[in-house]
Structures are given as C-alpha cells and as structure tokens.
Amino acid sequence: MALRVTTLLLLLTWLTLTNAFIVPSSSPSSLRIPSTELNIVISGQDDGNTQVKVKKLTYGEESRVYRRTVYTSDDWVRHRDPDRFFRNLISLLDSGIVVQLFKEVSAVMLIAFFAVLWNAVAVDGFDDFDGARHESLLHLPRYLLLSLPSGPFNLTSSVLGLMLVFRTNTSYFRWNEARSCWGRIVNHTRNIMRMGSSWMLTESYEEDPLIRREALADLELAIWEFPRSLQRHLLRAQEDEEVFQMEVRERLAPKDAEALIAATHRPTKALFDLSNAVERLPISYIKRIEIDKSIVVLGDMAGACERILSSPVPLVYTRHTARILSLWLLLLPFSLWDPFKETWNHIGMIPCAAVIAFFFFGIEELAVQLEEPFSILPLASLTNSIDARAKDYNSFHDENALLRTNGVKPVLSMEPKPPL
C-alpha cells in the first residue's frame, strides 16, 4: 500500500514539473525558436576527413532569446508592482529555470523515493492507511537503513552557500561588464556621428553639399557596420550568420559587403572601414584626431567583449562547485529520514528534498546562465538603436545644411523653428 501511495505522489509531482515545458503565452510567436534547431559542431580528423556532429539544443539554450529584455518606463512600473510576488509564483511552472533543472530535481526525488521505499519494505516497516504498523517484508538488519545524520549537512551548508555566492557574484559581474561595454559602444558611436555631422557644417572646407552628404552617409554606414559585426562575432553562427550576411549585402556596396563577410575578424575590418570613413571627412586633421579617440574606445570595448567571451570562470572552480553541490544534494534525502518521521512513512521527505534541490540547483543554474552574457543581452536592439541615432544626426545635418549658403559657415542656432 505504501508503495502505491508513494508512486502516486511521485507521478503527480513529475506531472507538475513537466508543465513548465509549456511555452509562456505572453512570448511573441515571432521570437520563438523551433525546437528542432540544431547545434552543428565540425571537427577535423587525423586522416584529413571532417567529422560533423549534430546536437539538438537544450531548452536552456533555446530560451535565452526570451531573456534579451529591453525595459521602458512602463515596464519598470510593472516591475515594481506590489503584486509581482503573486504573479511570479503563479508563473513558476513557466519558468525556464524549472525546465532546465527537471533532470537534477528528478534525480534527487528518485533517491528520496528509493530511500522511503527501501526503508519501509526492507528494514524499518511501514504504516497502512489505517495507521496500523507492519513489519518490513525483507526483515533486513537495522544497519542497512538508508539514513544519515543531519549534522554534517548543517556544518557544510554554509561552505556550500559561500561557494554558490561567489559563483553567482562572479557571473553577474561578467554580465554587468558586458553590458557596460556595450553602453560605451552606444555612447561613443553617437559621439562619432555627432562630431562628424556638426563639424561638417561649421568646419568643413568642402563647399559641395553633395560631397559632404556622401561622406556623412559613408560614416553612418560604417558606424552601423561595427556594432553589427561585433554582434555577429559574439553570437552563434547558427543564430545570426544568415541574417548578418543578408543585412550586410543589403546596406553595403557589393565589394565592401563581400570583403566584410570574408574577413577573418569582422569587428576589426569594421573598425578599419570606420577609420577610413572618418579620414574621408572633409574636415581638418585635428578634428579627425578628436573623432579617432572614440574609435580607439570602440576597439577597447571589442577587446573587452572578446575577453569575456573567451575566458570563462576558471573551470576548476565551476566543476568543483558543481560536484560538491551534486553530491551534497544527492545525499541530502538520507539525512531527511529522521526529521520526517512524524509524516506518514516519512513520505514528506520527498517533496522537501525536491524543493531544497530546486533552490540550490537554481542558484547554480543562474550563475551558469549569466556567465556568458552576450546571448542574453539585447545586442540586436542596441545595434538598431545605434543605427537609428546615426540616421538622426545625419538628418540634423541635412536640415541645417540649408543655412550654409554663399560659402558662409553658419553658427547653429538653438532657437526653435518658427511656425509655418
């Protein structure tokens, strides 16, 4: 009887967890990645042949696109809503963390279930639904009882907590540094276009407006080219390569587009094109040197992004933390046998072990998700914002270019335009 009831509870818990595989209804259908997307790994062989390995992406990898959030003022109002606690609890089963941890939590639950079953059937005995006590069926000696004292777990929990805190803080620092790098990229691309469009009005020695507009158009394209190339460089080829090539061929001249696509390091090629576009501006070399200072910062930020992408948290620390956490949680159900002796056949230890495993594995999973930040940062939105602001500065130049007549370089006025 105890076996039937325990099996039923385990089945109900498993069905509850599998509800998390349902895609949230609020997710835009246009952003969903099909579950058949594959990760293709190509490796060379000693005999010269090429081995192609096809591996299906996990839910954790597929769901990273949903985490590229860009907040507005309205989003912050909802973020501070007092009902956020209840809303987050209601959507618990839609959490990507729950889905990603399904195997780990299930393993802990199975161990807890096995401990309850073994101890009841083989060693300690069990109670039926009427509360009557029955001896074990196998009558094995007491030393075969699957139980551990809780003292060692109490002593080591603080050490495990410190390791998880360090792991999480380090991963968040990497995310914050990556976002700061892209923030500086946004700012300095705006500075480049601001200086170029403004000085082309007041400092340019070229009187032909068509030549000035062509030079600014080249600068605008070069400003878009750099963050777009860096975005592609930081994301998986399966996700962005096809779109990148299509956009580059649409916006750049055929020769320039193919040169960028064929470049071994596209961000460097894009910086080279940006430097050439600045050099072609018909302004004094002093002004071009000033603009070049922002280009140097763009190169520094690209290098910082590459450093974050290529250098994970030391693997020895990551693996050691994962091993300790796994052993600690897999052995935890045995220490819950005595604390739950007041529950029917100690069955309360099964959901308790699952909840504790979800807490601890969830913290480690958050650290893993944040460690590589670029696939959860809204790089496409940042790149589009850079492109939009570059177009704005170009339009500001065109509006004020009408003031430059008869070779007179105007002083830009901050006064609003008179009504028509």
pLDDT score of 232 more than 80: yes
CA 302-304-306 angle, 5° bins: 70
Task: Tell me: do 277 and 209 sit in the same domain.
Answer: yes
| Rounded Cα gap, residues 212 and 204, in angstroms | 8
Task: Please state the rounded mean pLDDT for residues 301-322.
Answer: 94
Dihedral (Cα; 402, 405, 410, 416), 10-degree rounding:
-30
Single out the residue of 325, 330, 324, 335 nearest to residue 154, CA to CA: 335
The single-letter DSSP state of residue 41 is: E
Each residue's pLDDT tens digit, 177-209:
999 999 999 999 999 999 999 888 887 787 788
| Rounded Cα gap, residues 68 and 70, in angstroms | 7
The single-letter DSSP state of residue 279 is: H
Domain assignment present for 358: yes
Domain assignment present for 32: no
| Rounded Cα gap, residues 348 and 362, in angstroms | 21
pLDDT score of 270 more than 90: yes
pLDDT score of 30 more than 50: no
**SS3 state of residue 55:** strand
pLDDT of res. 56: 56
Single out the residue of 217, 200, 223 nearest to residue 275, CA to CA: 223
| Rounded Cα gap, residues 236 and 242, in angstroms | 11
Q: Which of 71-80, 224-233, 275-284 has the lowest mean pLDDT?
A: 71-80
**SS3 state of residue 343:** coil
Give residue 200's domain range. 186-310+376-401
Single out the residue of 270, 269, 271, 289 nearest to residue 279, CA to CA: 289
Ramachandran bin of 353, using left for φ above 0, alpha for ψ from -120 to 50, beta for the remaining angles: alpha
Task: Tell me: do 278 and 129 sit in the same domain.
Answer: no
Task: Tell me: do 114 and 239 sit in the same domain.
Answer: no
Task: Tell me: do 293 and 389 sit in the same domain.
Answer: yes
Give the end of a domain, one of 325, 351, 368.
Answer: 368
| Cα distances (angstroms) measured from residue 337 to each of 123, 141, 147, 318 | 13, 17, 6, 30
Task: Tell me: do 207 and 280 sit in the same domain.
Answer: yes
| Rounded Cα gap, residues 224 and 279, in angstroms | 17
| Rounded Cα gap, residues 324 and 248, in angstroms | 48
Domain assignment present for 257: yes
Task: Tell me: do 235 and 275 sit in the same domain.
Answer: yes
| Rounded Cα gap, residues 123 and 138, in angstroms | 7
Domain assignment present for 274: yes
Domain assignment present for 89: no
**Two structure tokens written together for 48:** 């010269």
Domain assignment present for 30: no
| Rounded Cα gap, residues 289 and 225, in angstroms | 21
| Rounded Cα gap, residues 390 and 195, in angstroms | 11
24, burial (CB in 10 Å: exposed 0-12, middle 13-18, buried 19+): exposed
pLDDT score of 131 more than 90: no
H or E stretch covering 43? strand 38-44
Task: Tell me: do 242 and 327 sit in the same domain.
Answer: no
Task: Tell me: do 217 and 263 sit in the same domain.
Answer: yes
For residue 246, the Cα-to-chain-centroid distance in whole angstroms is 24
Each residue's pLDDT tens digit, 82-98:
888 888 888 887 777 88
Please state whether the predicted TM-score (pTM) of the whole model is above 0.75.
yes
Is residue 212 within 8 Å of residue 206, measured between CB atoms? yes
Task: Tell me: do 381 and 355 sit in the same domain.
Answer: no
Single out the residue of 83, 278, 110 nearest to residue 200, CA to CA: 278
Task: Tell me: do 343 and 208 sit in the same domain.
Answer: no
**SS3 state of residue 133:** strand
Give the end of a domain, one of 368, 388, 409.
Answer: 368
Report the DSSP pairing between strands 126-127 and 133-134.
antiparallel
Q: Which residue has the higher pLDDT, 347 or 134?
A: 347
Q: Confidence class of residue 357 from pLDDT cuts 50, 70 and 90? A: very high
Domain assignment present for 179: no
Task: Tell me: do 265 and 395 sit in the same domain.
Answer: yes
pLDDT score of 60 more than 90: no
Domain assignment present for 253: yes
For the chain, report the end-to-end CA distance as a whole number of angstroms: 88
| Rounded Cα gap, residues 410 and 209, in angstroms | 14
| Rounded Cα gap, residues 153 and 79, in angstroms | 37
pLDDT score of 162 more than 80: yes
CB half-sphere exposure, 343, CA atoms < 13 A:
15
**SS3 state of residue 281:** coil
pLDDT score of 9 more than 60: no
Report the DSSP pairing between strands 133-134 and 38-44.
unpaired
| Rounded Cα gap, residues 30 and 368, in angstroms | 27
Each residue's pLDDT tens digit, 373-409:
999 999 999 999 999 999 999 888 888 776 654 455 5
User: How many structural domains comprise the chain?
Assistant: 2
Task: Tell me: do 192 and 222 sit in the same domain.
Answer: yes
Is residue 341 within 8 Å of residue 4, measured between CB atoms? no
